[in-house]
Structure 1
Amino acid sequence: MRKTDIVAWTERWNEMYRSESEKIKRIFIDEMIDIYHIGSTSVPQIGYAKPIIDILVIVRDIHKVDLYNHEMAAIGYACRGEQGIAGRRYFTKGGDARTHHVHIYGNGNIHIDRHLNFKEYLLAHPEVAKKYGELKRTLAEAFPDNVHKYQEGKESWVAQIVEQSMKWVLKQNTKGEIGS
């Protein structure tokens, strides 16, 4: 059973992302458009996170990703298919002691903006990021042995911030302050 393990933010997570992203780039070299470090480990202002590196990969054709499942398995990933999100391919590394999640979307998928805008919003609003870190710690203490309850506890807060981040980025783009 997976545990809800929340630890203090560390620069090591950026190093882990860089190392893993190089491996992933080599696999998807013909399909990949871009790759990003996302999630709580990519935002130091949150202060705390599960020590799992979330990686977002944007590809030309989501259906071709399945052709690379063997290569992802060779570097330690389990293929989880869409895992409840249509148009996504999801890979996990580390079994019950996960170290990485890879979320792959075809270019133009709305979930790309949701992930990237959420991250950008938290980086630009450190007070909100800090509140998120506090929520994560509180939930981890309440549900140390139930990662699903931990996730459920964050859902409404995250949904609210995602909505705020989408509006914020749109406003920033209208002002010409953030590039597309």
Structure 2
Amino acid sequence: MRLPKDPTPIRTIEVVPYDPAWPAQFEAIAAPIRAKLSPLALGVEHVGSTSVPGLTAKPIIDLDVVISSRLQLPEVVSKLTELGYVHEGNLGIPGREAFMWPDGNGRHHLYVCSVNTPNLHYHLLFRDYLRQHPDKALEYGQLKEKLAKQYPGDMDGYSEGKQDLISRLMQEAEALSGFALHQP
């Protein structure tokens, strides 16, 4: 008897030193998206760890496409589908829509958020704080390296291990910005 293949293979968590090519990779991915979504998209933001110079990261480019209203989402989905993306829904995070490159191996994550989405503000505030505080980015990167070794095939364990530090850094970022994303 043959056992069915597990549809969710274990992926080893790979954390690598900062690659100065990441901004150019972002631009190469973002350019056709900007062209296709003009004038629907207010912008395409490079977010996540690859957007912070010097930060250790999983080598996957994260992009947030910013739209003015969720009412534009059906047209945005249609245009991204024309580029080859597959709409995956919100993947459990309200206010954010995820898209996959069809071969599943595009080495980037694409999300669409309306301008008033807390998730977008969280991404931008965290990115900008780490860019302005290299010591905090170093601390975060060292924790990610440790967790990748501790949980090499456990994305949940890896993610949960980062939460306390991320929460502390976000509190610091919010205090400096005067912009609170979380209710006390």
TM-score range for the pair, normalised by the shorter chain length? 0.7 to 0.9
Q: How well do the aligned residues superpose, as a CA RMSD in angstroms?
A: 2.0
Find the structure with the greater CA-based Rg.
2
1:161 pairs with 161, 164, 169, which one?
A: 169
1:14 match: 23
1:143 pairs with 138, 146, 151, which one?
A: 151
Q: Does 1:79 align with 2:48?
A: no
Match runs of 1:80-95 below 5 Å: 80-93=88-101
Shift of 1:77: 3.0
CA distance, structure 1, for counterparts of residue 74 and residue 170 of structure 2: 29
Give the match's secondary structure for 2:54: helix
Give the match's secondary structure for 2:38: coil
- Paired residues in the alignment total 170
CA distance, structure 2, for counterparts of residue 60 and residue 50 of structure 1: 30
1:66 match: 74
Distance 1:18 1:63, change over 3 A: same
Match runs of 1:17-32 below 5 Å: 17-32=26-41
CA distance, structure 2, for counterparts of residue 105 and residue 81 of structure 1: 12
1:104 match: 112
Gapped regions of structure 1 (runs ≥ 5): 172-180
Tell me whether 151-160 or 113-122 shows the greater mean CA deviation.
Answer: 151-160
Shift of 1:98: 5.3
CA distance, structure 2, for counterparts of residue 53 and residue 148 of structure 1: 20
After superposition, the C-alpha distances for 1:16-71 in whole angstroms (9 at most, x for unaligned) are: 1001111111222131111211110011232x100010111210222422334354
CA distance, structure 2, for counterparts of residue 157 and residue 95 of structure 1: 33
Q: Which runs of 4+ in 1 moved over 6 A?
A: none
Q: Does 1:55 align with 2:75?
A: no
TM-score by length of 1: 0.84
Give the match's secondary structure for 1:34: strand
Per residue, is there more helix in 1 or in 2? Answer: 1
Q: Tell me which amino acid in the other structure corresponds to 1:31.
A: L
1:5 pairs with 14, 24, 42, which one?
A: 14
TM-score by length of 2: 0.83
2:42 match: 33
> Is this contact kept in 1: 2:22–2:61, CA < 8 A?
yes
CA distance, structure 1, for counterparts of residue 88 and residue 15 of structure 2: 24
Give the match's secondary structure for 1:58: strand
2:52 match: 43
